[in-house]
């Protein structure tokens, strides 16, 4: 091996040597034990994994841009606060992140559009309600104008206690015929045997008792529910009248008996008084005769 190396070196660097005898520099192969080969392979894999992780961890432009955007938004939010709100925010953040006890943020009541509608809605609006220029009243007015006020929809869940809820129809219900060609009860879809009723709707709104005459189309079964309370009151009044008449008859019979008893008592007393007067007369006559004998 060493001799070959010397020959190759001499041929390569000899100036008068023929070019055909030129050999390239030799390549040496080193044979490693199996243990060392495994170590080299594992080391190469580790280095490869580290390189891949390093390339993955390199932040991309989008992540840097998002971070800078969030930072800018936070700074703009802080600059937009006044001194009191800024101080309050910093104190709350400090207590929330560094406080010993768990910080419970106070939940302020949030007023939604639905809450606004429930508060300002009126079954029948007046001119005074329309004159209010506030945003809440304008929202309620816009919602009120979208309702159709020819027929009503009824909720008869508590009909036995005489409580029936009524509301106006929406556009979807008008298109489907609910309340006009279909029973106006919320939980009934009957199409046959419908009848229209004018209902005197008494309700409490904004602390005031109000009344309105509205139209309602219902089927026969729902009509019985609608008139259930009134019929029950009539039946109850009839029963009360019957009880009153029965009590009056009983009182009259008892009064007649008392009158008869009193009459018999009076009759017995009069007979006793007559007998006593008749028994007293002989004594008086004997007394007169005795006195006449004493004084001749």
Please identify which residue in the block is written with the tokens 């008008």. Answer: 174
Instruction: Give the residue extent of every domain in the chain.
Output: 152-226, 227-273
Q: What's the burial of 46, exposed, middle or buried (CB within 10 Å: 0-12/13-18/19+)? A: exposed
What distance lies between CA 98 and its chain's CA centroid?
38
Q: How far apart are alpha carbons 196 and 19 in whole angstroms?
A: 121
The model's pTM is: 0.49
pLDDT in tens, 124-170: 998 888 888 888 899 999 999 999 999 999 999 999 888 899 999 99
What integer is the mean pLDDT of 187-199? 92
Q: Give the pLDDT band (50/70/90) at residue 101.
A: low
Q: How far apart are alpha carbons 191 and 150 in whole angstroms?
A: 18
Q: Give the pLDDT band (50/70/90) at residue 78.
A: confident
Question: Whole-number mean pLDDT of the chain?
Answer: 75
Q: Specify the 3-state DSSP secondary structure of 35.
A: helix
Q: Give the pLDDT band (50/70/90) at residue 3.
A: very low
Of 103, 149, 104, 98, whose CA–CA distance to 122 is shortest?
149
Q: How far apart are alpha carbons 99 and 79 in whole angstroms?
A: 25
Query: Token pair of 255, please?
Result: 């009064």
Residues in the chain: 296
pLDDT in tens, 153-166: 999 999 988 889 99
Q: Give the pLDDT band (50/70/90) at residue 176.
A: very high
pLDDT in tens, 230-289: 888 888 888 888 788 778 777 776 766 666 666 666 666 665 555 555 555 555 556 566
Q: What is the pLDDT of residue 240?
A: 82
What distance lies between CA 288 and its chain's CA centroid?
109
Q: How far apart are alpha carbons 147 and 100 in whole angstroms?
A: 55
């Amino acid at each position: 091996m060493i001799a070959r190396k010397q020959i190759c070196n001499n041929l390569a660097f000899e100036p008068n040597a023929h070019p055909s005898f030129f050999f390239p520099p030799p390549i040496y192969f080193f044979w490693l034990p199996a243990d060392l080969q495994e170590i080299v392979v594992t080391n190469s894999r580790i280095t490869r994994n580290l390189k891949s992780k390093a390339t993955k961890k390199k932040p991309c432009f989008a992540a840097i841009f998002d971070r800078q955007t969030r930072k800018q938004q936070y700074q703009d939010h802080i600059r937009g606060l006044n001194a009191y709100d800024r101080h309050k925010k910093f104190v709350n953040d400090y207590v929330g992140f560094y406080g010993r006890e768990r910080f419970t943020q106070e939940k302020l009541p949030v007023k939604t559009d639905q809450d606004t509608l429930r508060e300002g809605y009126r079954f029948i609006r007046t001119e005074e309600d329309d004159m209010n220029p506030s945003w809440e009243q304008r929202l309620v007015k816009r919602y009120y104008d979208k309702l159709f006020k020819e027929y009503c929809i009824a909720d008869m869940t508590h009909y036995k206690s005489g409580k029936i809820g009524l509301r106006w129809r929406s556009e979807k219900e008008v298109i489907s015929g609910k309340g006009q060609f279909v029973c106006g009860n919320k939980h009934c879809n009957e199409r046959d045997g419908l009848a229209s009723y004018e209902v005197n709707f008494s309700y409490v709104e904004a602390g005031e008792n109000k009344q309105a005459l509205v139209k309602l189309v219902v089927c026969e079964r729902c009509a019985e529910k609608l008139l259930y309370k009134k019929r029950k009151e009539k039946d109850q009044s009839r029963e009360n009248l019957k009880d009153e008449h029965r009590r009056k008859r009983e009182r009259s019979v008892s009064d007649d008996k008392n009158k008869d008893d009193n009459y018999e008592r009076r009759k017995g007393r009069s007979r006793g008084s007559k007998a006593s007067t008749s028994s007293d007369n002989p004594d008086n006559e004997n007394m007169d005769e005795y006195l006449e004998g004493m004084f001749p």
